[in-house]
A and B are shown apart, each in its own frame.
Chain A
């Protein structure tokens, strides 16, 4: 029955869509109560499919999943009572008022009367929507709509909240406000939160732990800091003037490791990046591949991604670069 160490657990989830799209290929995760856990990966990596299975919308071909100890396949109604879901399109009724939307959502969970009215008022207050509660949702800004979506997911006081790409399409200000709110949900309300994102910064800032998902599987799991810490040394990125015609010279002798080249962009690691740069630039000149610009940085999640997936993460469109 109910496990005390995990609140959301998935084991070996496989899901294939006809004709032969393998959306999930053995995905496993285990999330502790009160944890904010991120699934990071580009579009098509399987994040949304994982959420659909965990929220009882889709059935896996094989594998198991439990939420708060309830099996999503055998006890979907119990799972539904335990979870709140904020999908990419949460589908608030645009013609109805914010209040109508929230009241209806509460009624679907069997709430009603004064307790529901109070809960709805409390949520409007909390999400700064009190003034807009009786306006049609179609008049809301993007940020307001997203906050209403989160409120819809919380009306029945779930213990686990699923956020599928919560800040996609929001302007930076609205995104920062939503981040603060999500952090508060975990800190003050003790909610277990599973969020998917294709923003590295979001995963870095918001999650206690994250899993990088690629081709329907988890390739690595850990805290953002631990994952970055595994990459010892600095990230060195050099943009070359032209794609190198011949080789790059002996860069290892200059202190570079894990050298990879994509077009004109050379990525590598060095124990002390700043000290290695002069020698590296000289070596590149000698090899006939002069540099146009150089950056040295502490390892980022992008570097973690590169290390585990084998190519860089392009978060502008969330697709493979």
Chain B
């Protein structure tokens, strides 16, 4: 199973490397967000009660998690491609480990998200953002973005496997991305949000990632927030990976 997981992962990574343009474009989008939101909302830190010195410092984790959600929402598309092209059935008639097919999807989603998040953190730093908690903060941010990315990748994959319609996957992405990011503390401090929004944010996994990340990025690390929300996120990611595995089993039964 480990050898098969490696080869199936290798296949997907090689496919990504074959299209270096796609990798660059996926990084341009968060750069644009960083630039646009960074300039547009530059002065919101001056609002009383915002609680951050520089908006760029505040913004970097927001853009990292927004990117983790948006880039992983598309994994259902490749699931549909592989079903329609016959690739999945071809693999299923070989002795390949069934678990390896799923493992590879999770690993590739995690690796690409980690890479993108690390690049955003570094570019944010180059643009002047500072992470006073030391190296722990950025590393925790990358790990949390991976958990969040895995969650949404598994959700999209499950949807693609079950409904097999590109429109549904696109719809999920369009429908969820903006509400999830704006109903969180990605761009605005919690204390300045309307009360009902604060309530929604508390149950929003995007916000869990942000609260945990900001807890570790601060000079005075908030371990309670980091471990509590991080743990919730880990649990949610595990549940969705299981759900996605279930839809894959369902597919095999329906052939």
Contact = CB atoms under 8 A, between A and B. Distances in A.
A104 B6 CA distance: 11
B83 to A, nearest CB: 9
A88 B87 CA distance: 11
Interface string B78-108: 0000101111111111111000000000000
A108 B4 contact: yes
Interface string A89-107: 1111111100010001101
Contact of A109 (B15, B87, B94): B94
B18 interface: yes
Q: Is the interface of B mostly helix, strand, loop or mixed?
A: helix
B11 A93 contact: yes
Given A57-B255, A93-B11, A95-B19, A77 B95 contact: yes
A236 to B, nearest CB: 44
A223 interface: no
B15 A108 contact: no
Nearest to A83: B93
Contact of A90 (B7, B84, B90, B253): B90
B43 interface: no
A85 B93 contact: yes
Contact of A104 (B3, B7, B82, B252): B7
Contacts of B88: 91
28 contacts: A55-B93, A57-B89, A57-B92, A57-B252, A57-B255, A77-B95, A80-B95, A83-B93, A85-B90, A87-B86, A88-B86, A89-B89, A90-B86, A91-B82, A91-B86, A94-B85, A95-B18, A96-B14, A100-B14, A104-B7, A105-B90, A107-B7, A108-B4, A108-B95, A108-B96, A109-B94, A109-B95, A110-B3
A59 B255 CA distance: 8
A83 B94 CA distance: 8
A58 interface: yes
Nearest to A112: B3
Nearest to A97: B18
A126 interface: no
Contact of B94 (A58, A80, A89, A96): A80
Contact of B86 (A77, A89, A100): A89
Interface string A72-84: 0000010011010
Contacts of B84: 89
Contacts of A56: 92-93
